[in-house]
Every structure is written in structure tokens, then in C-alpha cells.
Amino acid sequence: MKKITQLVALLCIGAFTIAALGCGNSQNASSKTPSKVMIEYWHVNAESFGGPSVKQLVEQFNKENPDIEVVEKYNPDMYKGLTQNLQAAMASGKNPDVVQMGYSYLNYAGENLKYASIPDIITKLSPEDNTYLQDNFLPNVLALATTDDGKQIGLPYSVSVPVLYYNPDVFKQAGLDPNQPPRTWQQVTQYAKTIKEKTGIMGFFMQEYADNWAQQALIESNGGQILAKKDGRTMAGFDTPEASEAYQVLADMVKNGDGLHATNEEAFQAFLSGKIGMVCTTIGKRDNFEKSAKFTVMATQFPSFEGKTRKLPAGGNLLMIFSQDPDKQKAAWRFVKFLESPGALALWSKGTGYLPPRKGVTEDPQGLKDFAEQNKNMQVAMSQMPEVVKWASFPGANGLQAEQALIDVRDIILSGKQSAADALKQAAAKINSML
């Protein structure tokens, strides 16, 4: 018995010694020869949502830059999930280096997360890139990654706009011309009705993700707004006739049975198997839709309200850097520049359907020139770029809870429990008491 104890003790000591030696060795090695800088890249791209493109880009970068090793990490549940993981990681002191951050989290991230400012990194570590931002990005696009207090917290990376997808086979079945898709919301209502009456197929669905992005496009294109500034304070701005009128269009379609109110996944499944005529969602789903559907998916511009300017919130994400160590910051900046290069952006756009944020990618033969000419759905989305506005995000510590209140209201309105006007008024009061 005693012998065994001694043996175990000996083995333990041995293991510790080896471990200690191992540590010493690796430290020595890193100080002598410049070892690889490891950086982590966090993204939200599942296999069906650009995941393979992320892997391809990271692989390409690692091959071209032997001194840097990028490790990509997928975060489920979109930007909400990513932000949760990010906060948890930072609380335990292990932050990633490059992160995709949703535009709707812009102000929240600026106020609450300890990020490394890209303009600062450029001035300190990479002065040759001094004019990079101005040279390559339009001012209104750069503004997508600028917080309300004017800080450039990252670089716009993926830009998506809502479009109206439709199933041309269903259109033909209903006696509608697939080359004459609806242009206004009035027409969408009519088309949805015709489809339902003639074919029995559901007419229309607007995305119901855990955010209010598409609904913002609807409200703001009718002259309403999500946020309003009153006496320097940001308040809920959607308790107006314009906003409720726009929302009511949606509610009426659901009430008449021409529109669908269901979870996002259910509706997309149904659309892809030919059970819905029109779906209003992000251009980011283009590639997935085109590949998974049994019919030719067609897209048209987000419908407008008669005589009013369209305002489409930019969905997608910006790239933020969270590295604290200068070596890692420099590596992270190089990786960001790679992701923002025309070739990489072209690959990214093809794989996801996101629009490139940078000037000239669509004209660049190395970029998207051929692709844009071939893919009509992509052209439709790009033609909407001048109408892009910021995605509204509620400020302050209760911002995310306020967003949830607006999501809850969507269920109330679409289930027909209350009229859009009443429900939005109540939600605005609730949100204002939170902010």
C-alpha cells in the first residue's frame, strides 16, 4: 500500500516537472523566434448563412499571412447570442479580437463594451493607412458604424436591405405576371389576396426575427419613425398615425387570411416548399433561398407607400476590434483590412447575399462585376443602397428590454388582439418609462 502511494507521489512530481519544463520551453521559443500571433474571429454565420464563406476567407488569410493565425468561432442566435457570449467572455477576461457586431447593437456596444478604436489603431500602429477610411467608404456608409455621440467604433462590413422575394410559379398560377411584381404596399395587399383566392396558397409573410428591422423599414417608409429626440432625450417615436397605418397594412393581411403570422423558421420552410407567394426579408437570405428552393426565387425592391420615400435600415454588421495587446491589434487590423478588400468582399457577397459596404467593389472586375451583372436579385438589392438609413437601437441599460417590448407588440398587433394604433401607443408609453 505504502509503495503504491510513493509511486503515485513520484508520478505526480514527475508530471509537474514536465509541465513546468514545457512552459519554460514554450516561453523561450516565443521570445527567440517570432511565433504566430493567434487571433479569434467571432461571427454569426451558420452553415446555411454564409458559414462556408467565413471558413474559406479565414483559410485564405491564414495561407497568405504565415505570421498570423486566425481562428473563427461561430456564435448561434445571431447578434444577440454573440453579444451575450462576448459579454460573458469579457467578464472572464478572455476577449476575442475581431467581432461581427449587429448594427442594432451599435450604441449599446459603444457604451458598454471595452472595444479598441479602429481610428486609434490606425494612428498608433499603422500610420500608412491614415486615409484608408475616407478613401474607401462613403460617408453615409461609415455613419452606419458611428455611434450617436460620433464615435467610429468599427467598420461597416455586411450591409443588407430588406427585399420582397416571390415565387414566380405561384404568381403564374394566380394569373399574375412574375415580371410585374408589386411596387406598393397597396399592390402587395391585392396580390396577396389574389394569390390566396386563386390558388389557396398563403399570400404574404414579413420576417418575424427577434428584432424589428423589417418593421422599421415599413414604418419609416410611411414617414413614421422608431426613435424620436425630445429635449435631447431619445424617446419612442412610433406612436404616430404614420407608424400605425403602416403596421395596420400588415395586420389586415393576416386578419384576412392572406398574410401569415408564424415563426420565422416555419414561414421560410413553407416559402421554400412553395406554400407562400411572397416573403419580405433580408437580401442576406438570397443565396440560401436560391439554393434551397425548388423554384426560381425572384426578388423585387421593398414595396413603398404611394408617393413616399423609402427608408431602409441597414441590416448586417460592422467589424469591431477587441484586442488589448498591440501585436494582436495590429494582426486584427490586417485581418479586418483583408476582409474589407474587394476580392474578399466579393466572395462574402456571393456566399451570403450581403452588399459590399466599400466603394467600387461592384465595378471591380476582381470584385463583383460579373456576378452583379448575372444575378438580378443582387441588382435589385444594390439599387436600394441610396435609401439606406441607420437601424434604430434603443439607448441605455434598458435598451434591449425596450426592443423586446416592441417585439411583443408585433405579436399583439398581428394576432389581432389590438389595433396597431392602440398597441403601439401602449408600447411607446412602456418603452418611454424604461428609457
Q: Which residues bind other proteins (CB under 8 A)?
A: 80, 84, 87-88, 90-91, 112-114, 202, 210, 260-263, 265-267, 269-270, 273, 275-276, 397-398, 400-401, 404, 407-409, 411-412, 414-415, 417
| Shortest CB 300 distance to other proteins, Å | 22
Q: By C-beta, is 56 or 248 nearer to other proteins?
A: 248
Q: How far is the CB of 205 from other proteins (least distance, A)?
A: 9
What's the per-residue H, E or C state across the chain? CHHHHHHHHHHHHHHHHHHHHHHHHHHHHHHHCCCCEEEEEEECCCCCCCHHHHHHHHHHHHHHCCCEEEEEEECCCHHHHHHHHHHHHHHCCCCCCEEEEEHHHHHHHHHHCCCECHHHHHHHHCHHHCCHHHHHECHHHHHHHECCCCCECCEEEEEECEEEEECHHHHHHCCCCCCCCCCEHHHHHHHHHHHHHHHCCEEEEECCCCCCHHHHHHHHHCCCCCEEEECCEEEECCCCHHHHHHHHHHHHHHHCCCECCCCHHHHHHHHHCCCEEEEEEEHHHHHHHHHHCCCCCEEEECCECCCCCCCEECEEEEEEECCCCHHHHHHHHHHHHHHCCHHHHHHHHHHHCCECCECCCCCCCCCCHHHHHHCHHHHHHHCCHHHEECCCCCCCCCHHHHHHHHHHHHHHHHCCCCCHHHHHHHHHHHHHHHC
Nearer to other proteins, 65 or 401 (CB): 401
Least separation in angstroms between residue 237's CB and other proteins is 21
Based on CB atoms, which residue is closest to other proteins, 46 or 138? 46
> Which is closer to other proteins, CB of 99 or CB of 202?
202
**Closest distance of CB 231 from other proteins, Å:** 25
Q: Report the residue number, 143 or 421, with the smaller CB distance to other proteins.
A: 421
Nearer to other proteins, 78 or 381 (CB): 78
Closest separation between CB of residue 413 and other proteins, Å?
10
- For the CB of residue 263, give the shortest distance to other proteins in the complex, in Å: 5
Distance of closest approach, residue 147 Cβ to other proteins, in angstroms: 17
Nearest CB to other proteins, comparing residues 125 and 435: 435
